[in-house]
Amino acid sequence: MSESVIRVIPRLDLRGRRPGLRELRAALPRAEFDVETALATVRPIVEDVRDRGAAALHDAAERFDGVRPASLRVPAEVVSAAVDTLDPAVRAALEESIRRARIVHADQRRTDTTTRVADGGTVTERWVPVDRVGLYVPGGLAVYPSSVVMNVVPAQLAGVPSLAVASPPQRDHGGWPHPTILAACHLLGVDEVYAMGGAQAVAAFAYGFDEGEQTCEPVSLVTGPGNIYVAAAKRLLKGLIGIDAEAGPTEIAVLADVTADPDHVASDLVSQAEHDPLAAAVLVTDSVELADAVEAALGRRVAATKHTERVATALAGRQSAVVLVDDVEVGLDVVNAYAAEHLEIHTADAAAVAARVRNAGAVFVGTWAPVSLGDYCAGSNHVLPTGGCACHSSGLSVQSFLRGIHVVEYDEAALREVGGHVVSLARAEDLPAHGEAVLARVPEVEPGA
Ligand code: NAD
């Protein structure tokens, strides 16, 4: 294929080179409109919610979702009634998704550990769930009942006592969140649900608000996926609230060699591109033959899929590319530098290559584990870090909702034994009052003893 051809997806040719991390970070495809850019848009929205509460939330709903909900809190009977109209096949699928997610997440629960450091001296790590969390469920271009499952299951297994869900009001559904989202909430036993979306929902959870008799108390942690505005609001409010990770517009990277099935690869790239025009699809391969075949398959699939325009925009955007490399070794450098939300491995020895991946939100090994399996029913969590955050953050899990609190218990003899060292270090830091606090209890200890 000549370079003058207009491609469905850009190409980046790294053959003949083994770039380092700095060069890769500069070269690899990223969206032009990123979280940093979106901060300017979300700041006034967040400040308006902080200052005007419910009134700001209604105005934002009208402006961004085209509807003013009758109330921000969805009445409990509306939540429960949604199950009555749920398609039985969707109900069965949701129940299976919940069942598998519970199996996997139950294994993530932590037990307290007590370590005896010295005679009479112990440190216990006590795992305590966050008191109250706000769970964001997207509902703009698509609706995401699966994200109800992915948020609620780990929060419940962590033992969070108070959890609330927010999802954008839907014009076609009387201003309430989509009924499938409400039904998923009901199936999971969640009844505190709000009709609010985007940055304003994150702000509402962070600050809390009153509406008539109702109060939405502020939360300590907001989790869940969302578009670029949701991710930007999480970044802006981090500190006031905890966040899981920036789980913004979806990304898929595929590391493949000539043994890969081009149609499987193309179908997976399209499946993630359909989330958002800002979604990223990246194929990293050492095979020009595969790259050409995937591109041909993409051409066919993009034309045939339901959301052609959205997918075509995502694939053609600056955030997507076919990256050509010399071999799988360099391919691993590239995917580790890119730190994709989702990484698929389609190589001859997929499990061995997958074992060498260091940075990814989730890894899908071989041709029978497509990302869409993980989106719904693998048992894994689909709320995953984006924008390179997978090099330092994890996907949502039970751990996301827990804090480890160290409980320190020393008796007098144990303090006496180590007290001299505390005094020495306190003096070394020019914080002598620290040492004096020990000497007030055990005056006879000698520094360094
Ligand atoms: P959404 O609920 O995230 O966003 C809709 C809201 O965005 C609207 O309610 C509105 O408030 C706000 N908004 C829209 N345009 C705006 C503008 N111009 N200015 C300010 N606010 C605006 O739903 P969505 O749009 O369908 O996006 C869902 C996103 O979630 C997609 O990007 C998808 O890729 C992503 N996702 C990520 C993960 C993950 O774990 N990383 C998982 C699933 C989905």
The secondary structure of 81-139 as a DSSP string is: HGGGGS-HHHHHHHHHHHHHHHHHHHTT----EEEEEETTEEEEEEEEE-SEEEEE---
**Last residue of one domain, picked from the residues 335, 355, 379:** 379
Which atom of ligand 1 is least distant from the CA of 272? 34
What is the ipTM score, two decimals? 0.98
What mean pLDDT do residues 316-335 have?
A: 98
Residues 289 and 354 both lie in one domain? yes
Which ranges constitute the DSSP H helices of 225-327? 228-237, 262-273, 288-304, 308-316
Which residues are known to be catalytic?
341-342
Check whether residue 233 and residue 286 sit in a common domain.
no
- Say if residue 350 is in the same domain as residue 326: yes
Residue 446's pLDDT band (boundaries 50, 70, 90)? confident
Distance of alpha carbon 331 from alpha carbon 348, whole angstroms: 14
Q: Output the pLDDT for position 233.
A: 98
Q: How much is the average pLDDT of 3-11? A: 77
Residue 4, pLDDT > 90, answer no
Query: Where residue 32 falls among pLDDT bands split at 50, 70, 90?
Result: confident
How many structural domains compose the chain?
Answer: 2
Q: For residues 254-275, give the mean pLDDT.
A: 98
Q: Is the pLDDT of residue 1 over 50?
A: no
Q: Are residues 294 and 222 in the same domain?
A: no
- CA-nearest residue, atom 4 of ligand 1: 140
CATH (domain of 190) = 3.40.50.1980
pLDDT bracket for residue 449 (50, 70, 90): low
Give residue 399 CA to ligand 1 midpoint distance, Å: 25
186 and 254 both lie in a single domain: no
What residues make up the domain containing 275?
A: 11-33+249-379
SS3 of residue 276 by DSSP: coil
**Three-class DSSP category at 389:** helix
Position 336 in a domain: yes
Residues 380-409 have a mean pLDDT of: 97
- Assess whether 231 and 314 both reside in one domain: no
In the predicted model, is pLDDT for residue 448 greater than 80?
no
Q: Can you name the residues that pair with 362 across neighbouring β-strands? A: 342
In ligand 1, which atom is closest to the CA atom of 147? 43
Q: Is residue 387 part of a domain?
A: no
Structure tokens at 331: 């391919």
List, in order, residues 6 or more apart from 221 with CB less than 8 Å away: 130, 132, 133, 134, 241, 242, 243, 244, 400, 401
CB 148 within 8 A of CB 165: yes
Residues 341 and 206 occupy one common structural domain: no
* 73 contacts: CB under 8 Å, gap ≥ 6: 192, 193, 194, 195, 211, 214, 216
The mean pLDDT of 317-339, rounded to a whole number, is: 98
Within a domain: 239:
yes
Q: Answer yes or no: is 2 within a domain.
A: no
Of 193, 221, 247, the position where a domain reaches its end is 247
Q: What is the C-alpha to C-alpha distance for residues 135 and 163, in angstroms, rounded to an integer? A: 7
Would 411 be classed as within a structural domain?
no
Domain stop point among 331, 348, 379: 379
**Average pLDDT value over all residues in the chain:** 97
Local confidence band at 3 (pLDDT 50, 70, 90 cut-offs): very low
Q: Are residues 305 and 231 in the same domain?
A: no
The one-letter code for the residue type at 426 is A
Is residue 272 within 8 Å of residue 279, measured between CB atoms?
Answer: yes
Query: 173 and 140, same structural domain?
Result: yes
Query: Residue with the nearest Cα to atom 40 of ligand 1?
Result: 383
* Within a domain: 290: yes
- pLDDT computed for residue 260 by the predictor: 98
Evaluate whether residue 119 is within a structural domain: no
Give residue ranges with CB within 6 A of ligand 1. 41, 64-65, 138-142, 147, 168, 197-199, 225-227, 229-230, 247-250, 275-276, 279, 341, 382-384, 386
Bridge-based pairing of strands 113-118 and 121-129 is antiparallel
Q: Is 225 found in the same domain as 296?
A: no
Domain contains 426: no
Among 227, 236, 252, 275, name the best residue to mutate to test ligand 1's pocket (greatest count of ligand atoms within 8 A of Cβ).
227
The token pair that represents 395 in the structure block: 């996907």
**Predicted local confidence at residue 7, as pLDDT:** 84
Residues 149 and 173 in one domain: yes
DSSP assignments along 404-424, one per residue: EEEEEEE-HHHHHHHHHHHHH
169 compared with 4, residue with greater pLDDT: 169
- The predicted structure's pLDDT at residue 447: 82
Same domain, 219 and 280: no
pTM tops 0.80, yes or no: yes
Reference 178, options 249, 86, 253; nearest CA is 86
* CA separation for the pair 241, 320 (Å, rounded): 32
The stretch 438-443 carries a mean pLDDT of: 97
- Alpha-carbon distance of 132 to 112, in angstroms, equals 21
Question: Would you tell me how many other CB atoms lie within 10 Å of the CB of residue 133?
Answer: 28
For the CA of 199, the closest atom of ligand 1 is 11
pLDDT confidence of residue 349: 95
